[in-house]
Amino acid sequence: MAGSHSAGAHSPAREQEGWFTGTLVLFCLASAVITVVAGLIQVSFGSYSMTIGEAWRAVVDPAVVFNRQAWNAFLFGGELPEMTRNNIVVWNIRLPRVFVAIIAGTTLAVSGAIFQAVTRNELASPFVLGVSSGAGFAVLATLVVFSGLAPFLPLIAALGGTIAFLVVYLIAWKDGTSPVRLVLAGVIVNMVFQSLQQGLFFFADDIGVVQTAIAWLTGSLTGTGWDEVRIATIPAIIAIVLAMAGARQLNVLLLGEQTARSLGMRVEMVRFLLSGVAILAASVAISVAGIVSFFGLVVPHIVRNTVGGDYRQLMVGCLFAGPALMVAADVGARLALGGVQMPVGVVTGLLGGPYFLYLMRKQRSMGEL
């Protein structure tokens, strides 16, 4: 991928391709089908027994789909209207988990794609650059020490991720930054915040808090509902819109700093602002799903290998591939072991690690875009 999708491949011919190509449309359609199928499987099974047909009929029941009061309850926390038991189980318990997976998958994929362009390094991700660890430490500190601030977890996660990346930026700064220094500084900050996370466990004397903290560290969608959807939707939309608006700037950054400056770009400012968008996107996912390993690293690679390295198309591909893979992984996490639910981060780690190893063996070189 480094060779086939390098900055040099940003030719005038590619510039004329625009936002959509035939390959991208097919890729998005396939991803959407996977998301829908995995979502339907997710809502079909659970402790409350109902047939697959009953579950699917509940999903498309007009009494809920076109009920304004129901949507007011889902999206704004209003009072639920009278519903059948099947509809309550599907719409109030099982479907919100699918929606949270869609939001988390989208934002993590977008965040990873931006970081890989900003650092011009295909090994970059929110985790590698310390953003995930910083946000995770802030969330854990809130749960263990400042539990009264739990309703503000997204803001706290964003603050933690921002502080971590600012520290990375300061460490990497030497008359400007460079992709290599950013990644190395990210590795250092990541290790420090991981140590701080482990240290917090010594202050937790409630086993429930410890279990919640472990779920955050491994990445889990268990127990997520409409509260998480309401928390994450608006910041996710803001991050996605800003990311799409910055796709052309990401393409220019991939041309190299000297070329970008010669084209009139203020490289450091653009790099910093786009990093802020990536931090916001990653923080949204971490605030509702915890630290899901490998996801922000692998998904952009899958999209890049399929639709190419143009960030206009890559971003669109991430919007569809992220949800598909996250929802499918969560189905595996919830149903693979029968009555025992695994954290989705365990599944993404088990699948993402071998896939990344396959990419390393397949490609002649990796590291720089």
- Largest Cα separation within the chain, whole Å, is 64
- The pLDDT tens digits of the residues spanning 76-109 come to 888 888 889 999 999 999 999 999 999 999 999 9
Please tell me the least confidently modeled range out of 27-36, 219-228, 332-341: 332-341
- The pLDDT tens digits of the residues spanning 128-176 come to 788 888 888 887 888 777 777 776 776 787 788 889 888 988 888 887 7
Structure-derived torsion over alpha carbons of residues 268, 271, 275, 278, reported in degrees to the nearest 10: 170
Find the helix or strand (DSSP H, E) in which 17 lies: none
| Phi and psi torsions of 341, nearest 5° | -95, 130
Confidence at residue 324, expressed as pLDDT on a 0 to 100 scale: 96
| Model-wide pTM > 0.75 | yes
**How far apart are alpha carbons 179 and 168 in whole angstroms?**
12
| Phi and psi torsions of 172, nearest 5° | -80, -15
Q: Rounded mean pLDDT of 61-67?
A: 90
Confidence at residue 361, expressed as pLDDT on a 0 to 100 scale: 74
Higher pLDDT, 9 or 322: 322
If one looks up domain 96-360 in CATH, what number appears? 1.10.3470.10
Confidence at residue 345, expressed as pLDDT on a 0 to 100 scale: 87
The three-state secondary structure class of 139 is: helix
Q: Which residues contact 284 (CB under 8 A, 6 or more apart)?
A: 103, 104, 107, 154, 157, 158, 232, 235, 236, 239
**How far apart are alpha carbons 124 and 122 in whole angstroms?**
5
Per-domain residue ranges of the chain = 96-360
Confidence at residue 1, expressed as pLDDT on a 0 to 100 scale: 41
> 337 has which bridge partners?
340
- The pLDDT tens digits of the residues spanning 254-276 come to 888 888 888 888 888 898 899 88
